[in-house]
A and B are shown apart, each in its own frame.
Chain A
């Protein structure tokens, strides 16, 4: 079996290593597939659904699906883009996102995707849920209002013995991501910063620190999310 596979994205011939996940395979070919819950280095958990593509006509999440020989992938079609836009809007109405007051503004992937997909105002009614801000831990603030329940923190941040510091609680619309009462207190400065960086939105903030990089100079302030991938010379093998 060859180590490489051929496939197409929106009709363009692509090539990647066998077994790579579609998002990575696409990236290597200079194609951006939006992601939110995906994070490099940890097992994907297709929970945000934003990376949904059509593989041979079937809806699949690109972060969890390994590329295979001959796949026809639909990424930039009207249907798929509309679906992604509606998912972004769903996430906006589900929580309470007041971007101008958020430390993460400009570095926030949800906000950046909303710009990229030209969301004006969500088509769905705002739910305005009653959610708490948990500031009981010495180093971090967990703002439930902004959590999009992507599980990145759960999968990335653990203590030395591999125990979870963040975890889901409850299910359905009442799901929330909580911090372990004991381990949350022992969080080191580095891990706290890492947790904040891992979070795609402003739900985990490091205490007593803010606006280090001024608004206007942040990651997505000048270029849309994904443009780094698209501007990259495609590394065709």
Chain B
């Protein structure tokens, strides 16, 4: 075991900042990270044990106990539940004779829950030994357990045919489907590798930034910061070395467009990174991908190699003297907060994914304290088209405030879940028509994931765009028969509670208190005061450091705003206030022990 760990440590040059890669390899090789290896890593890297431990214990996919020869991570997102995940979960538990969080006594199978894995268009889904299994049914769960017991490898356990497009290729071989339902100018098929680089090298970096500024493009991650401006800051920032990061952490439940781009258009994405690197003067690009997409690793590595072979990456790219740029892939290990750009950088440095205080912003002081520009996958793809067709062309698409196109990840109760590339300016009603959902059957649409807003039918005429309904691109359609508070809001609150990095007092504590209030209301014990408390307490979260904490009350606050009647129906009538203390609950345990009946 020790020699195995030693080999891994040497592979990464015993570099502390590559701790994530070291731990990922250890986890993959041994199925968990044993304490003795933690100590070994600490000693070799000149760290203390608790220092290594604080990184390990932060990430969902690192385990300090054996996870079984086969480890099943079943998604528990709201949409997975809508699509029948609970029956699948029950089937797994029954067949394996264990609960979630446990490993079978023979050490063969571990069963775990995991937050949205980016497969909302084909739920219920699970990750088994880094392979994705989609569209699960209780029957399929039984088959999988049978195959495991027969000792089949995960790759031999597929009975479905491979998914569409590149999912069928030798280096992926996955049952995942891309479900691209609408192609626009960014996703279009005619792009070939190197097209934009040929044009790029005839431009100066300033000209590139100028074109991007002209396009009025705003970052596609959700915050909507103007891309050209960010690049200009990056270009002007001083540092020995600069970095481009592509944020492919895609953790917002309901979003999966990056997965599709990584599968189908990685050349486009890499070219976007090269362009960004050229524009700001960076020599290294880091593509940070969430661990859930590890199944795409071989595919992506091979395309990077092809780009190097063709000199689209490497030294003096396409003969342009001094134009050096290469890309490496950094995987995460399961933490939604790493989608926040400074947390992503911390994680890439081998640390806990805790957001940094700002200022300084990453463009001044980012990865390894060097100027760093972090862009979203979709943004980097779109800039390729700006270089090819010009900023004016891009600007001509969409609306004044929101130029260009947007990739939407659409899931939930509709006929055609998948990825749609639309020009900005679509209304929710247009979208419902497009995806095969009858607006009279639809009760609500969750726009922008849990941190976004849940809107009702009276708002379906609103327009997607920065001027009205801004969104990172996820839309979850919720039909009439769903119970919004139980199925959606509670699930989202649990999500935020689990995913807080735990550093801010506000974000670490308040969401749990809000969730308890919600549960009280759902259990018919709520009073009017509880609704008022929720609104007041929700405000505290605004003082949190990052977007996660600042929006962690949104599931409750936005449903309370737009579906207040659901709350009001459930609270006790004629009771304005209670002391919040439940005597019968408080004495329940002692009554059980003493065998007494409470005299209340």
Contacts and interface: CB of A to CB of B under 8 A. Distances in A.
Interface stretch (A46-54, A101-109, A209-217, A220-228): A46-54
A133 interface: no
Given A45-B503, A47-B505, A87-B543, A169 B54 contact: yes
A173 B501 CA distance: 9
B99 interface: no
A93 interface: yes
A58 to B, nearest CB: 10
Contact of B502 (A66, A93, A168, A178): A168
Contact of A46 (B501, B508, B542, B545): B545
Interface in B31-82: 46-51, 53-54, 57-58
Given A46-B545, A61-B357, A173 B51 contact: no
Main secondary structure of the interface of B (DSSP, over half): helix
Interface stretch (A2-10, A112-120, A157-165, A196-204): A157-165
Interface in B504-553: 504-506, 508-510, 512-513, 516, 533, 537, 539-540, 542-545
A24 B70 CA distance: 54
A172 B501 contact: yes
Contact of B505 (A148, A168, A171, A178): A148
A83 B504 contact: no
B559 interface: no
B360 to A, nearest CB: 9
A180 B50 contact: yes
B249 interface: no
A49 B504 contact: yes
A129 B352 CA distance: 24
Given A61-B357, A175-B502, A169 B508 contact: no
A149 B507 CA distance: 13
Contacts of B543: 49, 52, 59, 83, 87
A70 interface: no
A138 interface: no
B114 to A, nearest CB: 15
Contacts of B48: 159, 163-165, 167, 180, 182-183
Contact of A93 (B46, B497, B501, B509): B509
A179 B50 contact: yes
A163 B49 CA distance: 9
A171 B500 contact: yes
B258 interface: no
A51 to B, nearest CB: 10
Interface string A137-177: 00000000000110100000001010111111111111100
B57 A171 contact: yes
A94 interface: yes
Given A47-B505, A149-B508, A175-B508, A170 B50 contact: no
Nearest to A43: B357
B421 interface: no
A229 interface: no
Scoring A59, A166, A180 by chain B CB atoms within 10 A of each residue's CB, the highest score goes to A180
B322 interface: no
A175 B512 CA distance: 14
A193 interface: no
Contact of A49 (B47, B51, B544): B544
Given A168-B502, A170-B502, A171-B57, A83 B49 contact: no
Given A49-B506, A175-B502, A161 B46 contact: yes
B57 A170 contact: yes
A164 B50 contact: yes
B551 to A, nearest CB: 14
Contact of A171 (B352, B509, B542, B545): B352
B508 A172 contact: yes
B284 interface: no
Nearest to B513: A124
B499 interface: yes
A175 to B, nearest CB: 3
A90 interface: yes
Nearest to A83: B543
A171 B50 contact: no
B509 A94 contact: yes
A179 B49 CA distance: 10
A171 B502 contact: yes
A40 to B, nearest CB: 17
Contacts of A94: 505, 508-509
Nearest to B496: A172
B498 A180 contact: no
Nearest to B39: A182
B5 to A, nearest CB: 18
A64 B544 CA distance: 13
A122 to B, nearest CB: 10
A172 B540 CA distance: 17
Contacts of B46: 161, 163
A94 to B, nearest CB: 5
B580 interface: yes
A23 to B, nearest CB: 13
B580 A125 contact: yes
A86 interface: yes
A69 to B, nearest CB: 14
B509 A90 contact: yes
A206 interface: no
Contacts of B502: 149, 168, 170-175
B351 to A, nearest CB: 10
Given A44-B357, A83-B540, A87-B543, A173 B50 contact: no
Contacts of B508: 94, 149, 172-173, 175
Contacts of B542: 59
A90 B506 contact: yes
Contacts of A159: 48
Contact of B516 (A46, A125, A171): A125
Contacts of B533: 123
A65 interface: yes
A191 interface: no
Of all A-B residue pairs in the complex, the 6 with the closest CB atoms, nearest first, are: A175-B502, A167-B50, A64-B357, A163-B48, A180-B50, A167-B54
7 contacts: A45-B503, A49-B506, A93-B513, A163-B46, A167-B48, A170-B57, A181-B49
Given A52-B543, A178-B53, 4 more contacts: A49-B544, A59-B542, A124-B537, A171-B57
